[in-house]
Chains A and B, each alone.
Chain A
Amino acid sequence: MKKKRWNFRCGRIPCAKQLCRIMKLTSFLLFVLFFQVSAGVFSQNNGRLSLKAEKESVNNILKLIEEQTEFRFMYNANNINVERKIDINCESKSITEVLNILFKGTNVKYRSFNSNYVLYTDAENAVEQTQQQKSVSGKVTDSSGAPLPGVSVVVKGTTSGVITDADGKFTLAKVPENATLQFSFVGMKTQEVKVTEKNNINVALQEENVGIEEVVAIGYGTSIKKNVTGNQSTIKSEELKSIPTSSLDAALQGKGAGIDITSANGGMINGLVKVRIRGNGSINSGTQPLWVVDGIPIMSDEGGSRAQINVNDEALTPSINFLSDLNFDDVESVNILKDAAATAIYGSRGANGVILVTTKSGKQGKGKIDFDYKRTFSNRINQIKLMGAKDWIKTNQTAWTNDGRTGDFPLPVQKLFADTLANGTAAYTRDMMNNTDVNWMNKMLRTGITDEYSLSMSNATDKSSYFVSGNYSNISGIMIGQEVKKYSIRVNLDFKPIDWLKVGTKSSYACSDANEVSTLSGSGIRGISWPLGAISNPGYLNAFNLPVYPEEYADGSPFEPGGLNAPYQINDKKLYDNTYKTYHLVGMAFLEFQLLPGLTFRTEAGLDNYRQPYNVYGGNQSKGGATTYWLKTNYVREGGDETQKTNFNAVLNYNKIFKENHNISITLGTERTSTQYKTMYWQNWNVTTENHLNGSASIDYDNKGTATYKSDLFDEKFEGFFGRLNYSFKEKYLFGFSIRRDGSNKFGPDNRFGVFPSLSAGWIISDEHFFKNEVINLLKLRGSYGQTGNSNIQMYKYQNVYSPWGYYNDEQWLMLLSLGNKGIQWEKSNVVDLGLEFGLFNNRISGSVSYYNKLTSNMLLNSSPAPSIPAGVNPSSRSLITNAGGIKNTGFELTLSTVNIVTKDFKWTTDFNFSTNTNKVTSLDKSYAGTPFSISGDERIAIMEGHPIGEYVLTQFAGYTGKGDDQIYQVNQDLRTNSNQYQLESTGNKILATASNLANNRFFTGKSGIPKFFGGIGNSFTYKGISLDLFVSFRGGNYILLDGISRTVAGEASMNKDLINNTWTSSNANAKYPRLSYNGLSAEKDADGNAIKRAEAEDRYLVKGDFARLKNVRLGYSIPKSLLDKAKIKSLMIYTDIQNLLTISHLRYFDPEISNSLRVSSIGNGYGAGSLNYAPSLVSGTPFPNVSTVQFGIKLGL
């Protein structure tokens, strides 16, 4: 109805709808502006002011100028009558002209220090003059010892004062002997020093890190922290320092309450990092937060939708953590928005939280040049311990004999290879086996070394500022063959070409040149999914890690049975070359207009362009000339990805204080985001140098079916309109409302848009008169309710997609790839957040406590329609996205910062955060009823109503049979069949653990892979120039299923050193592991007399995932100023930083943070990428190890 009315009014005007919308907005803005009160000030920031007020007190006018400009006034109200009411109406006057008008006809005079004005009367001056006694000079620095120019130094209670010069020095004449000097500077804590007999006073100001007056980034704007009603954590650049991780997300681990961060890939270069804010909110949709760098929503680690199409090519295009291209040293602050009040303005993409990263800008004062060099050594930690050759042989022989066989167990190089062995290479003999002992892990892994150089320069004037930086890293990974060179530059500029216009850019460009180790067919250790050295499948490459395989034969020729290369050979670039380059541009440009006093219009255009060309050349020759089996011929694959995200937003901001106590802030805006993804490759075998060089290799019809091409393209779009209203009364009662209407082309035309509102309120109790007390200086209660959305699913799910599927010669076939569900809509999260913020003893103790309840509904769930519905061609990934089911996440968060000890030379501070999370599936699509693992696809991992995501459903160990095979408890089969609920009671019967018994006797363990609590504790100590930071992160309540370990005893006799002396024998009946068996055969026989294949009771391999880790130890020493001054160096610091020095966990074999999955993506694509939403802790195979690093660095400031 409404729409029609507008059309009618607009008649035939072209673009009527747009105009109508504009008119609506205009009307709204005019409505807002009519509320403009009698005073307004418009600063053009070059000192020219426009001011209009009627019958307003001088006091209020000065306040107004202070609020909306950079000018500050100091005066003694007893001597100057500031309650005097005046009329003023001036346009574009300088501050001195304005002051002349304000104090015309009085005896008030002023002195200025940059933007600070001291107002005084002649009488005051006279008094000062009579009291003058001595002159005091000194130097003001920041906590690191760098000089602070522009600090206001005032004799307390007077107007006498100066501003420090570019070197931070000051001289104040005529200071009364018993006076107190007050040192103040924006962003620093004000410090008072008594003047005694000293003539020289040096002061180091402390940063106001947790200051309640601190300005923090919020969505599409900034706010005073005290006035924020949403729940957010702020992490300043100082806290990140030089944490030796490869990406910003990894560096945030343990830094903020409610944010659970895991480096899922351990020591991988650019390894992916899993970030979960307030738990897993979805089963199939993405659960990574939205990262916004300088206003641009960037591609997050897994590449978001990039992963959705490219998933099958995982092995050849390494997953890149996009955040690894962001130089830490460039980051000013990171704000993590958690509740709906904070994130609803990001609407559709806010459900998983939003992380705002602000990079540095130049600051006024003397120019700064910083140089940082660091060298980092990495070594693997917490890796499974492996047997040497003797133990391995003994273990296998025992296993062979245990199976009732006589003689020697077969040589690990099987009959299969005998043919090839005969064909050119020497045979593998038992003697050779008995006389070889090689530690292949040591052959493949090494100490990784990274050199990193950073240089930055910055400065600012009142009309412009710049921050320019460059970074170069040369990384050698811990696996031989991993070599990466990275380069990045950043240019952050802003100008005010004219008074009412500010323009600027924040842009970075990073590129890298990398050689990746082979990942084909699970070679090397990166892709191993089988237990190390599993003997019954020696055809797998990992078998070539067996200690009994020599590097070479006696004659010096390489050991390559069956043409297989040993892993270290695969990493030989001459034999296998897998290189890729990355080019990553993240750029933003903005225009900001000052339209009216308090009213700004800002528009930003952002571009995030990522390209990754790669090529893989596999020779058909191994080191010894044998033809490798998986590369039957030589192989070429060339291709690349390109992802381009463009973002445009336009935002009107209006701030106004009226009638002194009413503060209103309005934001209105619109945003469009478009992400295009393209990928293309071709690959071919049988490529000769000749035909490759002349290009003919790209078409290979003669050798049908070997040439493959692949290309993909999609364009994901978002469009949003948003508004926010914040109102505060007396700066004590705070209210907030925000709303966003978001559209996405992931949904059909009828469901494209969703509306996401939020409401919040706060009460600063400590500002009430009745509450004033000496102990509690801040007590703020806040609460919010809001709705956010999630649309992180694959593209084109609402429409039928027919796709060319293949071709033969020039004949192509089309297939219905997936059936669309036209009805899908936004996944929604309703979030309630309650919090209490506090500051005690002049903020010596500060922190907050929060409770959240996040209820995801309308979940975008991969559900299978009835099988008779022709939904897609592949039964294993045949699914429709539907809105079904819900998840509830609740938890508490505590942050605490304390200044424990502070003396002149020594300071000790502590930061602590602790979060809990309880996760429960509240409802599910009915097609999942009774099949707890139908979503996870793994019978051991349940997703079921009333249970946490990923609860383990396992069989229970019931001791060994008399012959050393695992037994499990049988469950009540009738109950299982009838209820189909898996809420099973044990019958107490013990049965042999076989595959089919396992399938029928699992029960809910009440344990899941999702942590129930996590947090971090950091302690900083400074003594003169020495600083020591210790940071511990911890996590717990989750369980890890050691899938790989269980399989090492299920017949795949392995190299796991823990098997030694720990397997069942008649004299060791309570051993940790069952009887060794070469083929995993039970001692029991079936009716035909054949051996029964056994399995392993599963709950034995479930271990607690709790860990505490000394994540960081950093020791720094700042060379004293006195030594540096002569060399004209501002600061010089040397430091060392050790990461992952100590880990306390229940895991004997692996690192508690890693899992064997390469991806942390949560796109529900059926290929396992989404599985980490619910299976974060399944360790099978031999995952890439985590690392401990030692870093040495030097930081120079000029």
Chain B
Amino acid sequence: MVYNLIFKVMMMKIKPALYIISLLLLGFSCQKDDKFLSDAVPSYLSASEPITNADLQSLTYGNFFAFTGFSQQGSPFDGIISYPILASGECDQISIAANTSYRNMDHWFTRKNEDVDLATKDFWTHIYYVTNQASLVISKLGQFTDKVEIEPILEGQNRFLRALTNYAGVLCFGAPYGSDNSSRAIILYDEKSLSTGPKDLRSRNTVEEVYTAIINDLKIAIEKLPLTWDSAADPTMAKYKILPYKAAAQMLLARVYFNMGKEHWNDALPLINTVLGYSQYGLEADPRNAYDLPKGVIPGKETIWCYSNEWWSYHDSPFIWNLLYEPNASVFTMHPGFGRAYPISQQMLNYMGWNDQAEASKDLRYTRNFIRFEAGNDPLIAYQTLNKAYVWPLKYEVSFRASLSMMRLAEMYLDKAIILFNSGDKTGAASALKVIRDRAGLPEISATAITEEDIHKERAKEMIFEGDWLRYLQCQRKDIPGTTTLKWNDSSLVLPVPLEERTYNPNI
């Protein structure tokens, strides 16, 4: 009875209360929508744009990493390095090992296969990732209050990177300078023209505009970049030369002027002399060390700027390296699709004189950096059916973690030699060439005996497989040898804009 009474009282009081509590609970869970859902972005993700100079510094490092390639197959080096090498007839198309998986490298020769598109798309894509990010950093400089002392160096680094990337882009997707400078090449992103998202579809800038932008960036970079590594101010990694010093910007600008054609060689020469005048740089005594040091971490004095696998530590050497520079069988090269694919072409061998083994063996570069397998003697089973002897490069074969020299002082001597020769200074030309020949263990060519062809051949032997030959011939308006000989400005030497870009971007 008592219970019933209490219960009745409770029910009278509680029922409305319950009703209200239930509604409150329901209502509570309907509290302001956005708060619950927007709370969720974890703090480790900087889902907003950068807000400090420290962020900009990290973005700069990240962008250098992006430039050097996120993955082996997707590396821009595939495009930057392999295209000029393969297109100019520097190497022979054996590629038995390479054409069974990953990527059919035949496309570099034929440029008809749709695989060309697949590969150029990676390269094309990377150009814009890097130039846009570099531009983002430059656009934000001066806005933040932390670490203001690093702002100039950040600007120099980003302008160098942007120029380097645009230059790689214009070399491949643009007509050679002096051919048709009003033709379209690549899209320029700069600090005033950042990408605004997926709908921001642009048209290409002209060859002239791109070169102007590159030269402008490099001039500022030269001004802003330090001469040497400052342990107090710079991060440890900078000493590995993955981040550029003043000399790197100067050498790149010299290279740009040089490749623009003889009309611009006078602009290049002072820069070349400046770089050659720096005491911290010099040729290695052993040509082998010009590429990778025994430890392969800290590059030698010949390197002006490099790609450091060790520093990135994330991945092994770019894919092209596996194809070009791994002559010895290893666990991985036993596998079809990995390992060397391209020896020096017969045509280049004849031009360089290295088909004559007696002649070749006098050259330290040949003995130290190349290997020859006679027909049937190749350790790779896949190549045992070849019916000729081939010479394979092993410039970087020692270590997966080698620092890969992308700018080497030797190039400056060779530039200087041809520029001086062209201006009639044969003594100067012979003197510049002597430095290179001395290191190769070859006798000097006297000022009286030196010919233009001597300088060309020396360059071929020194720079082969470094992506130099095509642009060297083009800047002198020389025909391009290969399966068929092409004019220096033949349209087939310009890579087409990738199909996907053409499909998706009506403004291209």
Contacts and interface: CB of A to CB of B under 8 A. Distances in A.
Interface of A: 15, 17-19, 21-22, 25-26, 29, 91-92, 403-405, 410, 414-416, 499-500, 536-540, 562, 593, 595-596, 601, 603, 629, 648-650, 652, 668-672, 674, 704-705, 713-717, 719, 721, 743-745, 749, 752-753, 796, 799-806, 808-809, 811-816, 819, 821-822, 864-876, 878, 880, 882, 926-927, 929-931, 995-996, 999, 1051, 1078-1081, 1088-1091, 1093
Contacts of A1078: 381
B331 to A, nearest CB: 4
28 contacts: A22-B23, A25-B27, A92-B4, A416-B330, A536-B335, A539-B331, A539-B335, A650-B26, A670-B29, A674-B40, A753-B33, A802-B46, A802-B59, A806-B65, A808-B237, A808-B313, A813-B62, A813-B64, A814-B61, A866-B198, A868-B125, A868-B505, A875-B121, A880-B198, A926-B504, A927-B503, A927-B504, A999-B113
Given A92-B11, A596-B15, A805-B62, 10 more contacts: A21-B30, A416-B334, A595-B18, A799-B41, A808-B311, A813-B62, A814-B59, A819-B197, A869-B197, A876-B122
Interface string B49-71: 11000010011111111100011
A29 B27 CA distance: 13
A1078 B384 CA distance: 12
Contacts of B32: 17-18
Interface string B24-39: 1111111111101111
Contacts of A870: 128-129, 132-133, 189, 195
B50 A802 contact: yes
B255 to A, nearest CB: 25
A18 B27 contact: yes
Contacts of A562: 331
B73 interface: yes
Nearest to B501: A867
Size bracket of the B interface: 35 or more
Contacts of A866: 198, 201, 500-501, 504-505, 508
Contacts of A815: 59, 62-63, 65-66, 133
Contacts of B310: 704-705
B125 A875 contact: yes
A132 B313 CA distance: 97
Interface centre among B47, B197, B386 (most CB of A within 10 A): B197
Interface centre among B47, B201, B384 (most CB of A within 10 A): B47
Closest 3 CB pairs of A and B: A813-B61, A22-B27, A705-B313
Interface centre among A25, A593, A1051 (most CB of B within 10 A): A593
A1131 B19 CA distance: 47
B36 A865 contact: no
Nearest to A499: B7
A806 B313 contact: yes
B58 A650 contact: no
Contacts of A674: 40
Contacts of B41: 715, 745, 796, 799
Contacts of B334: 414, 416, 536-539
A405 to B, nearest CB: 8
B280 interface: no
A315 B497 CA distance: 39
B343 interface: no
B173 to A, nearest CB: 11
A803 B237 contact: no
B70 A813 contact: no
Contacts of B314: 806
Given A809-B236, A819-B198, A719 B36 contact: yes
B498 A867 contact: yes
B42 interface: yes
Contacts of A872: 129
Contacts of A864: 500, 504
Contacts of B235: 808-809, 811
Given A539-B334, A669-B26, A866-B501, A871 B61 contact: no
A562 B384 CA distance: 23
A1093 B100 contact: yes
A542 to B, nearest CB: 12
Contacts of A752: 33-34, 37
A996 B113 contact: yes
B70 A868 contact: no
Contacts of A405: 384-385
B381 A410 contact: yes
B37 A91 contact: no
Contacts of B106: 996
A416 B331 contact: yes
B478 interface: no
A515 B279 CA distance: 60
B329 interface: yes
Contacts of A537: 334-336
Interface in B64-89: 64-66, 70-71, 73-74
B194 to A, nearest CB: 9
B237 A868 contact: no
A672 B30 CA distance: 9
B469 interface: no
Contact of A878 (B25, B113, B125, B330): B125
A18 B28 contact: yes
A875 B201 CA distance: 18
Contact of A812 (B61, B70, B313, B501): B61
B232 interface: no
Contacts of A796: 41, 45, 47
Nearest to A1092: B96
Contacts of B66: 815, 873
A897 B30 CA distance: 45
B37 A744 contact: yes
Contacts of B115: 999
Interface in B464-499: 498-499
Given A25-B23, A796-B47, A865 B40 contact: no
A1090 B121 CA distance: 31
B382 interface: yes
Contacts of A403: 385
Contacts of B384: 405
A749 B237 contact: no
A1097 B35 CA distance: 58
B114 interface: yes
A19 B47 contact: no
A999 B99 contact: no
Interface in B188-237: 189, 195, 197-198, 200-202, 235-237
Interface string B357-399: 0000000000000000000000101101111100000000000
B45 A802 contact: yes
B91 to A, nearest CB: 14
A29 B26 CA distance: 12
Given A705-B313, A1093-B99, A873 B129 contact: yes
B281 interface: no
A595 B126 contact: no
B100 to A, nearest CB: 6
A853 B336 CA distance: 48
A486 to B, nearest CB: 32
B36 A717 contact: yes
A415 B330 CA distance: 9
B462 to A, nearest CB: 29
Contacts of A539: 331-332, 334-335
Contacts of A871: 129, 198
Contacts of B55: 814
A30 B11 CA distance: 19
Nearest to B131: A870
Contacts of B18: 500, 593, 595, 601
B344 interface: no
A743 to B, nearest CB: 5
Nearest to A671: B29
A927 B64 CA distance: 29
B183 interface: no
